[in-house]
Structure 1
Amino acid sequence: MMKKSIKHKMILSFLLVLCLPTTLISLMSYRISVQLLEEKVSDSFLANLTFIGDNIEKELEQWEQISKYINANPVIRNVLMRSYSNDLDFYYDMKKVDEQLETYSINTNIFAYVSSMVIVGNNGRNLLYGEDANSLDIERIKQQEWFSEVNRMDGRVMWLGIHKNIANYRVQNESVVALGRAIKGEKNNQIIGTLYLTFRESYFTGLLKNIELSEGGRLYIVDNRDHVVFDSEMKLLNETFPGMNPIKDDRGKGYFLTKGPDGKQMLMAHVPISKYDWKVVESVPYASLTNGTNEIFRNTVAIFLISFVMTSVIWYFVSSHIVRPIRKLTNSMKQVQEGDLSVRVDIERPDEVGMMNKHFNFMIMRIQELFRSNLEEQEKKKNAEIRALQSQINPHFLYNTLNTIRWMAIIQKSDNIREVVEVLGRLLKNTMKHEGPFVSVEEELANLKDYVYIQKLRYSHKFDVRYEVHPEVLPLPCVKFILQPLIENAIFHGIEPKEEGGGIITVSIRRAVDHIVIKVLDNGVGISKDTLNELDRRMAISGRDGGIGMFNVMERLRLTYGKASSFRIRSEENKFTEIEMMFPTAAEGQRIGETSEEISDV
């Protein structure tokens, strides 16, 4: 498997960190740009529709002005209020009405779009004007729901929207836009007739013919009954506008996205003509709005790629500058791995790499010191083992000789000699029983008791040994033969010089968390302060070549457990001496040795 250098990882990590936010920012910028473009285009549509709506409102006001003129014209009022006994008088009066209307039409250009104007008089006479007026069915007009409602509106105009001409015969204009109002008398303010005014739907076509729509766009004028008054494609005239419900539900900015008949997205913009409850609506394909977004997308991608390449090149040189000293340090580590501890790295930098170089050099120096110290410790340990071997005085030979004496004592029935020889033989046998440096606390105590038995015989029971041992420490391992030298020291230097008898040695062994604490206390002659200070000084010298006794024990503890062990002496002259040693319950490589099978009874 190919190893990837830290330089490659840094470059890949940086590119990944660069790509994620840059891509996100680019996408957000693109989206915001598109949204702003859409809003501007939509707002532009709304502005155009508002302009169209204002113009439509002004045009509708002109048609209302015609109705006001008719309502206020005295000639028309006179015809509607007069009772005619013959048709000839009515005919002459109608001529006057026509003259009035023709004169009015000269002052306004919209009069040319009048399809019909019908005034149904309450006196039983109907005034007709326009190209389709004579074809209308007056009775059907009077039966329309709006007819009676108009007369209840106190002379206000009611827009009737676009609808089919109410005629029994063929007319010039099949669909017309209409309004109605009541005609009132001048003095009594009573209704004297009802006006029904219609104009051709082509009026809006002429009005809006110069409006330029977007590609695929479509413009609608929708009346108060939701019928299409104007359609730029002339397909939905006088039909219910199909998209009115979403427009009524829209309470937003005046535009929204919807699906067209072909399933494509359309932008639907609408502006109300509030005075008449009409609406100006324009639908535009969404794709035509986003034509400019393709250019925005290309520019965004180009900027992203240029930024990506430039930052990649810059980061390549930056990472090379960072990695070069690390690579130099790595090569030095390989030399150390091959055993060359003399290597040093010379990198002077005020950053973490420089600190790492400094610490590396310090670590190599410490390794060299520890290596030399370890060699010295091993040499001392080896010397201590040699001295221990020398002190055994050929235990095999001595053990076999003692075994021969024991048989001679049995033959001669010398029980005291036999018993001492057996204890001494057992002690020597235990000395060679385990190959390793460790035995259990229980075995160490057994050896100690054999040794104490022999010493009691020698000193005629001048002293006694008491044991205060916690049962939980018995199976735990300890360095072998660390108790016997301390008891021997207590007998020779504490109990033996004591003039009166009653010597007591107390051996206390307990567990303190993860350590074993051993105390050997005697009530002998104690140690003078000067001698005690000298002993403390000698024990404080690390690596002192001690003998077989107390210093040998202390040195073996230090070599085995290091700083995790302790050895202390407390004493008062002519009162007591106490030796306390403490060491861990487990140490590296600590295991009770295997029993040797080479020792057997002869």
Structure 2
Amino acid sequence: MTLKKRIFLLFFLSAFIPFISIFAISYYTIDSIFANKIDDGIRSNLQQVTSSLENSITNLNHVTQQLSYSGTVGKRMDEFLNPSSDIFELIEARDELKSELSVVTFTNPNIGLTLYYFQKEGTTQFGNFPIKDHFSPESLPLLFQTYGIKYYGPHISMNRFDDKLVLSAMRRVQLPKRDDAHIYVESGFRLTEDILGYNQYNGALSHLILDGEGNIVYSEIPEAMKVGENFSSLTVDSVKDGISRGYHWFKEDSSQKWSVVSVISQAQYQQEKNQWLLQILLVALFFLGFTVFLAWLLWKMVYKPLGLFHSEINGMSKNPQSTGSRARTQIPEFDFLLGEFSNMQHQIGDLFKEVQQKEKIRADLEVEKLLYQINPHFLMNTLDTVHWLAVMNGQGEIDKLVQSLNKLLYYNLGKLGQVSTMEEEIDALRQYLILQQIRYDFEFDVRITADEQVLQIPVPRFILQPLVENSLYHGLSDEGFIQIEVTRTETLNIMIQDNGAGMTEEAIHKLLNNRVAEQQKVGMGIGLNYVHRMLKAQYGDQAQLVIESEVGTGTSILLILPIKGEDISA
């Protein structure tokens, strides 16, 4: 399985196993919570509606009681219906009755239409609002009756200017001579609608109102439960709350022996739970999309650096001396690794260059050395022959010259890369100086001082002679001198000074870097350039060759070598 597939699988499992487990555990718990929440909300709303209707009916009872014979208004009504012969007393009684009625209705703002109804004639008196034609309280839905008062369930108001639902009550007014007189009172404008429209549950609730025998006297869903039907026959299998005709219903009984039923369709009942389930599914899809996005993002975060590593490795395999691109991923950890890898590429490239340079220097030195090795055995044997001829003929100076030349050539023509000591290097230099004095027949002072502790220090072969040779071939006169001092501190320090003609900076640079010009000028053909390259090959940057010269005054050469023991090799 690839890294990409593993990342996606890991993110999927880590995101959805806990989510599905929590969803499975919480679903039944939340389903129960929602069911209880819905039921409690509907029951609480139902209790509030029932209580409000009870209060409205109680208020109607209170008002009708005030307007009955036992009250002040009732007595005024009796005086009005049974007047004396005085017309003024009749008018006064009527006016007082209207005033009393106004006070009662004014002090009860939840009261609407109020009038006196005379059942035998079917007439009304003292209505506070105009009434509709064919006023007949007997046709209204009777809710319940008690103690000479009838209460009617929600119906359209008898007020000519009002078509709102109202509750009403009609009480017999106990007049001595008119037993058919009744007081009719309706609830106030919109009161009943506001009560039935009250819905703290915020769901699509409908209401039924049942009389004491369980008959429906008011229904907000006549298409399913009609007025006049007995509600008990619709709910044979249910004891208290249940389901009937596709509706959940909840019943609340009033202390006045009527009931209110709240009904809600099964679709509406399940709507909130379905919405919750839909939200959970949407959250699940969101988590799925977000998880896939995170997996893709993580993959990109890993894939890009891996791609860069792959590109850098391929580039390095094709070109080992490549220095890298130092690409950035904006991720500190990967950028650090890429930086380290780039540094490694730089180091490997530098090592390749250094190895190539050293190998080139080694090859050049080998070839250069071989150019001057003219069959050492033949040359040595010839010089020995000359030596014995000089001895036999009494030529002492020739004998001295040949012996010095023989020793010098023996030392210089040794195997390239052989380790020498400081003492051997100084002896070879002395032989070289003897040859030069005899050859050019002039005297110059060469002073060599070396500490005893430096004589056995290993050094590369043939480094002193080119430095002294430089002094001889750059303006040293008969009165000239060359001072050579070899000391030891933490390094091996070789100082060569002369009082010759000196050199310019351009001449010094040419001597160190132009081998052809130097070979044409100096005696052995190997000079400062050889020493400079030999130091680089042997010691790298650990050795120093410092040349200071002033024209007309002389030259000073300082050679600083690290002390490495006897592990020096070419």
Give TM-score scaled by structure 2 length: 0.41
Give TM-score scaled by structure 1 length: 0.39
Q: Which has the larger radius of gyration?
A: 2
